[in-house]
Amino acid sequence: MECFEGDAFGSLDHFRLIERPIPVPESHQVRIRIEATALGFVDGLMVQGRYQIRPPLPYVPGGEIAGVVDAVGPGVGHLDVGDRVVTWQLGGGLSEYTVVAADEVETVPAGLPLANAAAMLVDYQTAHYALFERGRIAAGETVLIAGAAGGVGSAAIQLAARAGAYVVALASTPEKRELVLALGAKAAIAPGGDDIRGAIMAAAPRGVVDVVVDPVGGAGFEALFRSLAKEGRHLVIGFAGGAIPTLPANLPLLKSAALVGVEIRHYLASRPLEAGAVRAALFGDAASGALAGAPDRPVPPRPGPGRAGCTLAA
């Protein structure tokens, strides 16, 4: 089989397409013939060796993997050859096949394309956990979403809007602002303006926001926190903007507001049954069309039998 493998982190120069033997599943493992792999911000960090977890070398990028089970090891009860499945691993997706633990694999409902399942896997769960568990959003509240056209942001727009929140989105280009409005935001603002707080005040119905969904961090962080209403919640999800910001501790006090961390791996590890139910509901809604789970830039497979395609999510 072909896979895109690297022998060092730092840059894509260390990675190349190579031939490897097709792996054989051992006890309690399954082999997946990969049909789609979602690539997002985290995969870029992985390849650079800058993610919080460093996988072992050699490394095949792509953690959000969807495909069809084509071999089953001894002791596997709940999966069969031919099942359409998805799994979240540290890597292995940019390959024709991968072997994983069967209990880390779940089936994808009929009607949901495998590429969409891969693209939704982490971003939609993260957005759901952020909004409903950590942010405790309620209908009628105003939710400000930074990096709103990105993977986490675009999922958050849809989930917040359908929960009855008034969504204000930050997006840097006219095309991204058009996208976020189409996904359900009521207002779209460019993040880099001189008076971002003024723009947020003008866009929010009460002049303040109840929740900030923040996968960006960076220089605009404090202005977003200052836009919160009393008892507001600023959800810290990531730092796509580069810098990890700091916040004067008097600001949460003055607003009775909270700076709230969101870590999806903690949620998945600590509440696996609940997380599985959320995932199943999200997949079901995407399969029925109640949620748009489509990746926006599918990359077709290279010609040839059994070639894996991949999906660039956002």
Which residues in this chain contact ligand NAP in the complex, by CB under 6 A? 40-42, 122-123, 126, 147, 149-153, 171-172, 176, 191, 215-216, 237-242, 262-264, 314
Rounded (10°) CA dihedral 112, 113, 118, 121: -10
For every residue of 229-267, DSSP letters joined together read EEEEEEEE---TTSS-----THHHHHHT-EEEE--HHHH
Residue 180: CA atoms inside 13 Å, Cβ hemisphere, count?
A: 31
Cβ proximity to ligand NAP: between 67 and 295 the closer is 295
Beta carbon of residue 270, minimum distance to ligand NAP (angstroms, whole number): 13
Cβ proximity to ligand NAP: between 105 and 235 the closer is 235
Beta carbon of residue 94, minimum distance to ligand NAP (angstroms, whole number): 17
Report the C-alpha gap between 129 and 148 in whole angstroms. 16
Beta carbon of residue 199, minimum distance to ligand NAP (angstroms, whole number): 14
Cβ proximity to ligand NAP: between 30 and 127 the closer is 127
Count of beta carbons in the 10 Å neighbourhood of residue 70: 17
Beta carbon of residue 154, minimum distance to ligand NAP (angstroms, whole number): 8
Tell me 134's DSSP state: I
Cβ proximity to ligand NAP: between 100 and 155 the closer is 155
What is the DSSP pairing of strand 15-19 with strand 2-6? antiparallel
Tokens of 221: 């962080």
> Which residue sits closest to ligand NAP, CB atoms considered?
150
Beta carbon of residue 269, minimum distance to ligand NAP (angstroms, whole number): 12
Cβ proximity to ligand NAP: between 29 and 311 the closer is 311
